[in-house]
Amino acid sequence: MKRIAVFCGSNKGTRAAYAAAAENLGSQLAKRGIELVYGGGCVGLMGILADAAIKNGGHVIGVIPQSLVIRKVVHKKLPDLRVVKNMHERKALIAELSDGFIALPGGYGTCEEFCEVLAWSQLGYHQKPFGLLDVAGFYRPMLQFFDHAVDEGFIRPAHRELILVEEDAEKLLHRLETFQPPAEVKWIRKTPGKF
């Protein structure tokens, strides 16, 4: 696995564990020789993650839309910064550059980014692994919601399993590296009800 995209908060969150996890993930990626692809910001968990990767000798690619460069939230010390026209171009380039995806805690931006990765995965647009780093149980309510969506017939059990969940960065990276994509992809159901 050459490059992993990490989606994470542009805020640090209230618990010290979130920042510690971002720092640890950045250094783990660098130590494994895996390049980091991310949103290119200097703020919140994004800044902590990128700084840790750079500090440990890792390569970092930031992909940021012009509008955010103007708002001065861009990280100024990235070895590779790609400025794109808009958020759509940003997500497409991040997805194309990366061999896998990880989400740390975050807000709407983070959730939007990883849900798109999962939606594309279930449609068979890509077969790249996605891992959720569940720091301090942050994603437990969201995982419960996804289980609910399975029970209610909106997510197939096989697609629920596309989310690799770990609390520890090393374990999660190992699962990404050994991931086997499921054979089943989504198609439009002819009859209503459960999958």
Q: Residues 36, 110, 128, 176: which binds ligand AMP (CB under 6 A)? A: 110
Q: Segment 65-104, which members bind ligand AMP (CB under 6 A)?
A: 68, 73
Contact segment (CB under 6 A) with ligand AMP among 38-46, 77-85, 119-127, 166-174 equals 38-46
**115 lies in the binding site for ligand AMP (CB under 6 A):** no
Binding of residue 7 to ligand AMP (CB under 6 A): yes
Q: Which residue in 107, 137, 153, 157 binds ligand AMP (CB under 6 A)?
A: 107
Give 86 or 178: the residue with its C-beta nearer to ligand AMP.
86
Question: d(Cα 104, Cα 138) in Å, to the nearest integer?
Answer: 9
In angstroms, the Cα distances linking 189 to 122, 152, 184, 195 are 14, 15, 14, 8
Q: How far is the CB of 177 from ligand AMP (least distance, A)?
A: 22
Q: How many residues make up the chain in this entry? A: 195
Strand, coil or helix: what is 58?
coil
Site membership for ligand AMP, residue 113 (CB under 6 A): yes
CA dist., res. 110 & res. 155, Å (int): 20
Helix 16-31 and helix 169-177: axis angle, to 10°?
A: 40
